[in-house]
Chain A
Amino acid sequence: QVQLVQSGAEVKKPGASVKVSCKASGYTFTSYDINWVRQATGQGLEWMGWMNPNSGNTGYAQKFQGRVTMTRNTSISTAYMELSSLRSEDTAVYYCATRHYYGSGSDAFDIWGQGTMVTVSS
């Protein structure tokens, strides 16, 4: 079945970097953009950016520009999100999701990974 499986929980110190992986299966990896969304405990969803697995093109939310890098390895159908200069406010669950474009101004994040908890603590 179509699914995204993410890497396990991480604990990092302030100032460090974290790299989360998202492995796709059940569909052609290069067909849909991968987006990353995070959610701090008790808070709402926050869109971080997108990556086109075919071209490698990316687009990042202004808030994360300069700190986030989204990459992929097409040979293993895996996307990565690396966030640097971590601070306590980055403690959150990070999700990857495919974005399906349906045309006429309509798109949606239709498949989601299970989420990866990243804890930033000294």
Chain B
Amino acid sequence: SSELTQDPAVSVALGQTVRITCQGDSLRSYYASWYQQKPGQAPVLVIYGKNNRPSGIPDRFSGSSSGNTASLTITGAQAEDEADYYCNSRDSSGNPHWVFGGGTKLTVL
């Protein structure tokens, strides 16, 4: 079991907005980072910190956090956004250990 909980699957109509959530106690102390993974490819960082995008990540991707929940929002989802999304943060042990959420499969209809 994961200390970070994600919905297994979410769908969104093309061009609409979708929010993917991640819940965990450690998120009260640490920011989540978010990763996009397409089949057969390595994960790619899309959001880190309060709401930061690495170079090359479209601005339709944004992040937010409240209490024990972090969210990744895609505003105006595109077909190429269909992928698995994982959140990651420090775990709640107090040790320098990290944990991933179980992942959310995003389908763009």
Interface residues of A (CB under 8 A from B): 35, 37, 44-47, 50, 59, 61, 95, 97, 99, 102, 104-110, 112-115
B43 lies within 8 A of A106 (CB): no
Q: How far does the alpha carbon of A44 sit from the alpha carbon of B84 in the complex, in Å? A: 9
Top 7 closest pairs, chain A to chain B, by CB: A108-B48, A108-B33, A106-B49, A112-B42, A45-B100, A44-B103, A106-B31
Known A106-B31, A108-B45: A47·B52 in contact at CB below 8 Å: no
Interface residues of B (CB under 8 A from A): 2, 29-31, 33, 35, 37, 42-45, 48-50, 52, 54, 84, 86, 88, 90, 95-103
Which chain A residue lies CB-closest to B96? A59
Q: How far does the alpha carbon of A104 sit from the alpha carbon of B31 in the complex, in Å? A: 9
* Chain A residues whose C-beta falls within 8 Å of the C-beta of B2 in the assembled complex: 44
Q: How far does the alpha carbon of A95 sit from the alpha carbon of B102 in the complex, in Å? A: 17
Q: How far does the alpha carbon of A53 sit from the alpha carbon of B88 in the complex, in Å? A: 22
